[in-house]
Amino acid sequence: MAATGSTFSIHRSTDGETIEGNLKVLLANFVMALRNGSTASQPEIEPVDQAVDKRVRTAKIGSEHRAVLFQITGEKDRRHFVLAGIYRNEVAADKARRLQLRVNPINGVTELIEKPAADIIAPASTVVPPQQTVSTTDTPPLEAGSLAGVSPTEKQKADNTTDNAPDNVDATANDGDTTGGMAPGEPDTGVSSPPEEPTVPDNGATEKPHGSNRTNPAQFLRSREYTPQLLFNELGIDPETTDIVLGLEDESYLGAALSHRPGWEQEAITGMLLGYSFDQIAKDLGLDTSRKDTAAGTPEAVGNNAPATETEEDDRLIDGLKHPAVRGEFHFLTSDGGDDELKKELEKVLDALSFNKWLVYLPQAQSRPATSDFSGSSRISGGAGTGKTVVALHRANNLVNCTIGGKSSTGKSADNPGRVLLTTYTRSLADSLEEQMSLLAPDYRQAKKMNEPGLMIAGIDKTVAMVIQDATTEEVMAATKNVLGFSMTTRPGVLEDLAAANIWTEVIDLDSGELPGEVANKTFLTNEYQAVVLAQGINDLAGYRRATRTGRGIALNRKARTQVWNLIRAFNQTCASEAKVTFAARAAIAAEILITRNTTIFDHVVVDEAQDFHAGHWRFLRACVERGRNDIFLAEDAHQRIYGQRLVLSHFGIETRGRSQKLRVNYRTTAENLSYAVKILDNEQWLGSGDGDDVDDVKGLNSIRSGPRPVMEILPTETAEVDRAAEFIRQWKKDNPEATIGVLTRTRAIVSRVAAALQEQEINAVTQSLKKALDDADCLVTTMHSAKGLEFTNVILISVNKSMLPLRYKAKGLGADEAREFNRKERALLYVASSRARDKLVVLSSGESSELLPAPTAATGN
């Protein structure tokens, strides 16, 4: 019987039953009864015969399920229960027999280990990531000549081309190239991470295409002589984990292959593949490896001899459940304000187990930046699906609750919170953030307007508009004069992109013809206006002549600068006369208003999708918040920069050096889809917002999930593509009526044609809202740009043709650097689209496929 005041931890089970409906109610009652030690309604907890761990128990939850849990009794009979999962009656006992809760003998972390049945234990040489083949039930029958993705290893390629190959794929075909596939620190934080962009030593991997930056894990470990025993002695990594890694040739599959292992081990292995030392890895994960000098042998041998008594061992288990490195796997129920608060916390945890684990279970790589107290601005970067938005949400919530550093730098408290802004690039993305924050913190202190205590969630341009709307006529006149060189007596409206392009075309006609075509074009002038003129606050010729133009590609002498300035001045004059300015200029005007007032409107700012913010946005955000502790936090991915230009944020007074971290574990996309998507990024250099050559690579990026390989098909016409897409959609909806399906393409015109054609085939395709697509329709048909920030169960990319990606007419007349940047954005756009799929990805083309797609092998005929 449980003693009064028993404590409880809940593991983020990945293979148990979905906890919802009546099962959720029954489980909540069960946990509360154990937690409170009620003698009137104590659940019956039964030991398990022949179990690996004598602490394991099962308990009846309703008529069809049993809880698998561990009962731990520490010093002074303090009793703690660890819920490992909920399973159906017929499998619960077998599951319980194979589970072991233990303290890592080297680092003190509590680990939940599942011992495989003897008949499924495989030697390291045969360990391969799960589900690498394409089942014939995964997709409808494919037409001859189709290609199903890229396999991870030579062995797997051989396997996948024989018995496991679908009927529609040539079993003799070479599946593809195996050479590529697809953390905050400063003295006063108490948190350490690698340098912003560490120099990674030679890793012993096979030669890779330029730009791929991918690592062969097996070759890496062997080249460093990282044996199973060495990694156990240094960090406590189980030899079984090292054996698995020694069987991997593509790092994309690291997470999926280690999905049954403790999460901290995956983070540690990822750090090794990046070239970090054992000491650095231990420091990043908060591991105390002081025991390593006295420990030896296997985890089991050391573990059995470490504690003097069973009580001491149980105490270590309980303490290890609170270790920062296990926050992504165990949640220790902490509410001490009575049953009501405990029930609220428990409900949130149970909801997280079923649908949104990110609400509660943050791995150390995400938890650290979400909770750290920084001396200034800070930054995270990472590929699609690595949890950047999750970190931004948690950090914003922690800031408004003043739980970072115990108290905000403004001296506010949870009862009197500071002014926090959570912002992103578009209105739809802001709406999504608001919905997710309502899940994370349903009762969060909401600020409806700027300068109000609490958390305001708004798109960046909406926030700019608030400042403009609040300004006096005098403030508007002064700010527009400072930004444009011309005063406006009315609040400036928005000059949309098409209207701005038309004005640039008109002012270019004023040029004498002496400027070369790559300068006298609207793309160059738009970028020059944003990245140089607005970024540096230039409003006259003298200022433009002095301006720094680093990174602009085309050098301009004194005469050329005068000619370019005349065009920019004419553009500004037209804007002033029409009382409309570009979004970038509007943000710069709002910044001038705040600077003139000598006041700020927020204490902390959290930015999601920061890679697309332009110079005006950064000037505005710098003016919004005073420089200081935790002032600006940003999340970015240079590979998803589909709108803005690369900017160095230190030029705007936003310094993140020493306070930057990269996320490298993908929690959304399968390893197969990730492997395909990152190949799109090859042969390009991607730079982040840090100083100098802040290269943002995909090295170490891996997925925790595995699934079917992407399918590529080339068809005769767009009509044939739509017919093929309809086949996939029908099959997917038949297999899983709850599947969310996105059909993504490059232009709005194709969206309209595809949606109409699908409707003619009695497929309910919508083009407007994701919510409507989920609730009422079979699929959402939208542009690749509009899909930014969304995710789907399955995705079809349609009309990925040479004429569509890159969209060549938009590059007409561009100089070499501008054209290169345009192609880079088109490549980023295709990467964004490819990474929207959680499970299945299909790429359809007609005629000649896009040159941006990963090259299929000659044997496929595609």
Boundaries of every domain in the chain: 7-103+328-354, 493-578, 709-860
Confirm whether residue 385 is marked as ligand binding. yes
Alpha-carbon torsion (83, 85, 90, 95), positive or negative: negative
Question: Phi, psi (5° rounding) for residue 93?
Answer: -65, -45
Helix, strand, coil percentages in the chain from 3-state DSSP, rounded to 5: 40, 15, 45
Question: What do you get for the CA distance between the two ends of the chain, in Å?
Answer: 67
Select the more confidently predicted residue: 614 or 128: 614
Residue 406: the pLDDT is 53
Confirm whether residue 382 is marked as ligand binding. yes
**702: three-class secondary structure by DSSP:** strand
- Which residue shows structure tokens 């502790």? 629
Interhelix angle for 816-834 vs 671-679, to 10°? 170
The yes-or-no verdict on residue 195 having pLDDT over 90 is: no
pLDDT in tens, 637-664: 999 999 988 888 999 999 999 999 999 8
Left if phi > 0, otherwise alpha if psi is -120 to 50, otherwise beta: which for 213? left
- Dist. CA 591–CA 600, nearest whole Å: 10
What is the CATH T-level fold of the domain 709-860, as seen in this structure? Rossmann fold (3.40.50)
714: part of which helix (H) or strand (E)? Answer: strand 711-715
pLDDT in tens, 213-238: 578 999 999 999 999 999 999 999 99
- Dist. CA 701–CA 716, nearest whole Å: 36
Residue 586: the pLDDT is 96
Neighbouring residues of 70: CB distance < 8 A, sequence distance ≥ 6: 53, 55, 56, 57, 81, 82, 84, 99, 101
pLDDT in tens, 705-743: 889 999 999 999 999 999 999 999 999 999 999 899 999
Confirm whether residue 388 is marked as ligand binding. yes
Confirm whether residue 386 is marked as ligand binding. yes
Query: In this structure, how many other beta carbons lie within 10 angstroms of the beta carbon of residue 55?
Result: 22
Q: Work out the pLDDT band at 818, boundaries 50, 70, 90.
A: confident
Q: DSSP per residue over 151-178, as a string?
A: -SSHHHHHHHTTTTS-TTS-TTS-----
264: part of which helix (H) or strand (E)? Answer: helix 263-273
The three-point CA angle 744-750-753 to 5° equals 110
Confirm whether residue 387 is marked as ligand binding. yes
Interhelix angle for 21-36 vs 339-354, to 10°? 140
Q: Work out the pLDDT band at 390, boundaries 50, 70, 90.
A: very high
Confirm whether residue 311 is marked as ligand binding. no
Alpha-carbon torsion (104, 109, 110, 116), positive or negative: negative
* 8 A C-beta contact, residue 344 and residue 32: no
Mean pLDDT, rounded, for 183-210 = 31
| DSSP 8-class letter at 68 | E
Confirm whether residue 384 is marked as ligand binding. yes
